[in-house]
A and B are shown apart, each in its own frame.
Chain A
Amino acid sequence: MPARRPLSLLLVAPALAVVLALFVYPLGYSLVSAFTARDGQPSLDNFVKTFDLYTTDIVFTLVIVAVSTALTGLFAAAIGGYLVLGAHPAAVTLLKWLYRWPLFIPFIVAAQCMRTFLAKNGMLNNTLDTLGLVDVTSLSGLLDWRGIIVTFVWKETPFVALLVSGAMAALDRASIEAARNLGAGGMRILVEILLPQVTSVMTVGLILAFVTMLSVLSVPIMISGGSPTMITVDMAFRVNAYSDYGVANALGFVSYLIAGLGAWVYIRRNVRGKTEQ
C-alpha cells in the first residue's frame, strides 16, 4: 500500500526526531568539538594533548576491553556448549539456573558487589584463606585492572552465553549425533561442529558486550580509581575538573575508534565468510 506511506513516516517521525536531536546531534557535536581548538579554529591540538597525557590510559583501556571480551567469549562458549551437549540433565538444569543471574544485576550494583568481594578483606580472599590456599595477610586485593576485567566478564558472560546457547540449541542435532557416533568427544564437537555454526551470533554478542564495556563509567571508577585508568574516567575528569571539553571529546573520538575497530573485525569476518561460501 504505497499510497499510505506518508502515514508510516508520520508514525516513526517522533521517535526518530528524539534520537536525532538527543543522540545524533550531540554525537556530531562531540566530533566537531574534538577537532576544534579553544579559539574556535579547526585543529588537532586536542589530540596532541590527549596522546601526551593519556596514551597509557588508551592502551590500558584497549587491553582491558580486549581481554574481557576474549574471556567473555570463552566462558560463553563453554556454558553454551555444556548446556547443549551436557550428558547429565541435573547438572545442565543447575547450570542453566545459575549462569543467568548477573544478566539482570545493574552494573552499578555489580560494581559495588565486586568492590567488597575483591577487596583485600573481601570474601574472595577470606574464603581462599579459610580453605588454606593463600595467606590473606600477604595478599593485596584485586581492585585494579584485574578487578575491572573480573566485573566486566562477570556481567557480560550471561548475555553472550544466552545468545550463543540459544543459537546452538536451534542447530540440527543430526550432525552432533553423527559426530558422537563416530566417537568425537564433547570438546571436539563444541570446537569443530557447534562453534563454527554460531560465529555470527557470537560476534554480534561480543561486539555489543565490547561497546557496553567502553560505555560503563561506574565500574572503572568504583573498582579502580587510581592511575592508570580507563578513558571513560578520564573523560569525566576532564569535564568535571577543568571543563576541558576539547580533550574529553578527543578521548570520546578515540573510544568511537576502538568501537569501530570491533565493528570492522565483524564486517571483515562476514565478508570473508560470504566469499568462502
Chain B
Amino acid sequence: MKATLGWLWRGGVLGIIAFVIFGPLANLVLWAVAIQWYFPHKLPLTYGFRYWGEVFKPTSDAFASLGTSVLIAAITVLVCLLLAIPAGYALGRRSLPGRGLILLIILLPQAFPSVAVYLNIARLFYMVGLNGTIAGVVLVHAVHGLVIAVWIAAAAFAAVDVELELAARNMGASALRTTLTITLPLAAPGLMAAAIFVFLESLDEFTGTYFVGVPDVTTLPLMMFTASLGGNYQIAAITALILLVPSIAFMLLIERFLNTEMLAKVG
C-alpha cells in the first residue's frame, strides 16, 4: 500500500515535470500543423500542412533565410576554428606569459550582458560599411563562438598524451609532422565538438544579428521573430521547428563527443 502511494506521488511529480518541459513544445507542434485555431477552441479547428508548403517553397523568405543562416554558421565555424586551434594549443599545451589574463579576455564576451556591446558594434560597423553584410554578422557570431571554441580546444589539446608525441619525435618525425599526424587527430573529437557548438550557437543567435544584420541580412531566428510578432504563428512555429532539428540532433550526439574525462579537464 505504502509502495503504491509512493509510486503515485513520484509518478505525479514526474508527470508535472514532463508536462512543464514538453507542454510548450507540444503547443509549438500544434501550431505548426494548425490551419485554423482561435479562442475559445482548445484545439485547432482544421489541421494540415498548407503552411509547410508556403515555408518550403523555393521562393519563400523562410527558405532564403535558412540558406543565409547555414552559410553564416558554416563561415563562423571556419573562422572560429582557424582562430581557436592555435590559441587552444598555446593555452592547453605551452607555457604562456600572462596566461590567466589572456584567458580572461577571451572569456569576457560570456561574462558581460551583451546587448549594449552589440549595439555599439553595430554603430562601429556602420562607419566601416560592415552593417547589413554577411561578413559583419559572421564577425559578431565568431566573437561569441570563440569563448566556447577556445575553451574546448584548450581542453582537447591538454588531454592529448604527451608520450605519444615524444614517441613520434623519437622515431624521427618533425615537429610539424607530429602535430599534423599525432596531436591534431587525437584532439579531433574535441575540436569537432567545438565546431558543433559554434555552428549551433551561430544558427540560433538572435541579438547580435538583430543589431548588425538589419535590414539586409535575415537569418532564420530573425525571420521567426518577425513572423511571431506579426501574429503569423503557423510560420513562426514551423521555422522554430526547423531551428530545433539540429539542436535535438546535437543533444543525442553530445554524449559521444564529450566524455566525462574531457569535461573534467575543461574546468
**Chain A contacts to B: CB under 8 angstroms:** 1-2, 4-5, 7-9, 11-12, 14-16, 18-20, 22-27, 29-30, 33, 88, 91, 94-95, 98-117, 120-124, 126-127, 129-130, 136-137, 154, 166, 208, 211, 214-218, 221-222, 225, 232, 235-236, 239, 245, 248-249, 251-253, 255-256, 258-259, 263
Contact = CB atoms under 8 A, between A and B. Distances in A.
B115 A236 contact: yes
Given A11-B89, A19-B143, A116-B27, 4 more contacts: A12-B86, A112-B240, A154-B21, A236-B211
B204 A113 contact: no
B26 A245 contact: no
Nearest to B233: A116
A251 B113 CA distance: 11
30 contacts: A1-B95, A4-B94, A5-B95, A7-B94, A8-B90, A18-B139, A20-B105, A22-B121, A23-B109, A26-B117, A29-B124, A99-B21, A104-B251, A106-B244, A108-B204, A109-B243, A114-B24, A115-B228, A121-B42, A123-B30, A211-B110, A211-B111, A211-B112, A216-B207, A217-B115, A217-B206, A218-B225, A222-B225, A222-B229, A259-B111
B42 A126 contact: yes
Interface in B1-54: 10, 14, 17-28, 30-31, 38-42
Contacts of B42: 121, 126, 129-130
Contacts of B115: 215, 217, 232, 235-236, 252, 255
B247 A105 contact: yes
A131 to B, nearest CB: 11
A135 to B, nearest CB: 11
Contacts of A104: 247-248, 250-251
Contacts of A130: 42
B28 A116 contact: yes
A258 to B, nearest CB: 8
Among A99, A121, A130, which residue has the most Cβ atoms of chain B within 10 A?
A: A121
Among B31, B87, B117, which residue has the most Cβ atoms of chain A within 10 A?
A: B117
Interface of B: 10, 14, 17-28, 30-31, 38-42, 82-84, 86-87, 89-91, 94-97, 102, 105-106, 108-124, 139-140, 142-143, 146, 150, 203-204, 206-207, 210-211, 221, 224-225, 228-229, 233, 236-237, 240, 243-244, 247-248, 250-251, 263
B117 A154 contact: no
Contacts of B233: 116
A191 B86 CA distance: 44
A27 B117 contact: yes
Which 4 residue pairs are nearest across A and B when measured between Cβ atoms? A252-B116, A106-B204, A113-B24, A214-B113
A2 B95 contact: yes
A265 to B, nearest CB: 14
Contacts of B248: 104
B13 to A, nearest CB: 9
A54 to B, nearest CB: 14
